[in-house]
Amino acid sequence: MIELNSEEIYYFEKQVRYWSEELGLHSWMIGVNAKDEIDSEAYARTTMHKNWRTANVEIYTKIEYLPSTIDKLDWLNKTALHECLEILIAPLSFLASDIYADSVVLGASHEIIRVLEKTLIERRPQNEQ
């Protein structure tokens, strides 16, 4: 098991702020917290309230498994981007959830997120990390 330290948690929060600015999420109030837990299904989780346009991004401080070949700061940056992309497409997800099952919406949302992650990570200048 891997545990995040306070510097890594701060770095994650900084990356969430960076990506929320880059993605123009100005109409959202976004909080970032560290959760001293382990989740076998996720590294981070974002909860949102659609009417208030609030989001809370939580990074789990205990990670069950992270391959040794992965740079931890790069991983934290990508995780922050992923959570911000979930906020970006949330309005569409909320609408779709009224018609389709949550699992269908989640799958479709993550297809879009994976494409955007790859594109945005490749375009980000290295000196901005």
3-state secondary structure of 96: helix
Q: In the chain, where are the structural domains located? A: 2-128
Query: What span, in angstroms and rounded, lies between the C-alpha atoms of 12 and 95?
Result: 29
Pairing of strands 54-63, 29-38: parallel
The CATH architecture assigned to 2-128 reads: 2-Layer Sandwich (3.30)
Q: What is the DSSP letter of 127?
A: G
For every one of its 129 residues, what pLDDT tens digit does the chain have, with 9 covering 90 and above? 889 999 999 999 999 999 999 999 999 999 999 998 877 778 899 999 988 999 999 999 998 888 888 899 999 999 999 999 999 998 888 888 777 787 777 788 888 898 999 889 888 766 566
